[in-house]
Homo-oligomer: A and B are copies of this chain.
Amino acid sequence: MSMVTSVREGNRLALARVLTQVENATDEGRACLNDLFPYTGNAHLIGITGSPGSGKSTLVNKLAYMFRHPPEGDRPRRVAVVAVDPTSPFSGGAILGDRIRMRDLAGDADVFIRSMATRGSLGGLAARTADVVQVFDAAGYEVIFIETVGAGQTEVDIARLAHTIIVVESPGSGDDVQAIKAGILEIADILVINKADHPMVENTERALRSIFDLALLDSSHHHPDEESLEYPSATKKGWQIPILKTIATEGVGVELVYQAVTQHAQYLKQSREWLRREQIRLQSILDTLLQHELVERWRKSTSSEIYQNVLKELISRRISPYQALQILINGVTND
């Protein structure tokens, strides 16, 4: 409890310790989370994603700086950045990223940056990211960036933890057909074309606008699978998704993104959409935990010998994967 109190009182060392416990999913970390959870629900969670090389990290840097030093009339916010890299098996990427960030924001006690790398266990990453975000939220960080690399489903899952999703693209990163495939466009609340000094910027903007119109058109016919949560397109009513051009390295256009982010927070709160996203977000966190726990329990309840025998039959092709599944599931004894 005293650890939790220290975190709530702004003790950075206590915060760092709790974050480590939470990342490592220790019993202590889980106990802290339970105690901290009632204090969550105040932060504005901002997901930021896009292709590798689009300049996301630089943009997050500049946005974080702007939330610390806002335009006249706005109050400075306490800012946390959670940089998640689901694809990198090397810690090198994340560490290097941190060092580059430090230049702008070092020494500011109201900025906390945390990199999360993974070594293969992806099922847990979205859950652990959610946990880390909760700790920052309870610790009084008012704006929390969740930055992810790439365009795969894990990134989409992680971005789904946010209230506001910024998708960053850069010009010339692919042809038109491939751009359609990037796919994460449909989750965007704010679209940013970074590196806007690139000669191809007009083409990219045109391509994005047309894909985007198509997507919005398409979404009216869209019936999500049972498994998926109906998150994006339909909920965009009442919010005109801006397409903004930036040159993040030089700070150009960053204030426009800042304005869009704060306007989106206002829109969410006025339209009850904030509450709806909170509900979806917490349900998604719960479902992920459930899935993980069910598999763990099954593993504990099944003898490794039975599993290995079935696997052997499968590998020798005496039984099919579905037949193997039936044998394993029907042999389960729960306790």
Which parts of A168-184 form the interface with B (CB within 8 Å)?
172-175, 177-184
Main secondary structure on A side of the interface with B: helix
Q: Does B311 contact A282, Cβ atoms closer than 8 Å?
A: yes
Q: Does B90 contact A180, Cβ atoms closer than 8 Å?
A: yes
In the complex, whether A320 has a CB less than 8 A from a CB of chain B is yes
Which parts of A277-335 form the interface with B (CB within 8 Å)?
278-279, 282-283, 285-286, 289-291, 293-295, 297-298, 310-311, 314-315, 317-325, 328-329, 334
- Which B residues lie within 8 Å of A291 (CB)? 291, 294-295
Contact-residue bracket for chain A: 35 or more
Q: Does A34 contact B152, Cβ atoms closer than 8 Å?
A: no
Contact partner of A153 (CB less than 8 A), chosen from B152, B181, B282, is B152
Closest beta carbon of chain B to A255's beta carbon, Å:
24
Q: How far is the CA of A286 from the CA of B320 in the complex (A)?
A: 9
Q: Does B322 contact A33, Cβ atoms closer than 8 Å?
A: yes
In the complex, whether A154 has a CB less than 8 A from a CB of chain B is yes
In the complex, whether A124 has a CB less than 8 A from a CB of chain B is yes
- Which B residues lie within 8 Å of A130 (CB)? 321
Hey, what's the 0/1 contact readout for A70-91 against B, CB within 8 Å counting as 1?
Answer: 0000000000000001111110
Closest beta carbon of chain B to A275's beta carbon, Å:
9
In the complex, whether A97 has a CB less than 8 A from a CB of chain B is yes
Q: How far is the CA of A328 from the CA of B292 in the complex (A)?
A: 13
Q: Does A52 contact B322, Cβ atoms closer than 8 Å?
A: no
Q: Does B53 contact A174, Cβ atoms closer than 8 Å?
A: yes
Closest to A152 in B: B152
Evaluate whether A34 and B286 lie within 8 angstroms (CB atoms) in the complex, with A51-B51, A85-B183, A97-B177 already known: no
Hey, what's the 0/1 contact readout for A127-155 against B, CB within 8 Å counting as 1?
Answer: 00010000000000000000001111111
In the complex, whether A109 has a CB less than 8 A from a CB of chain B is no
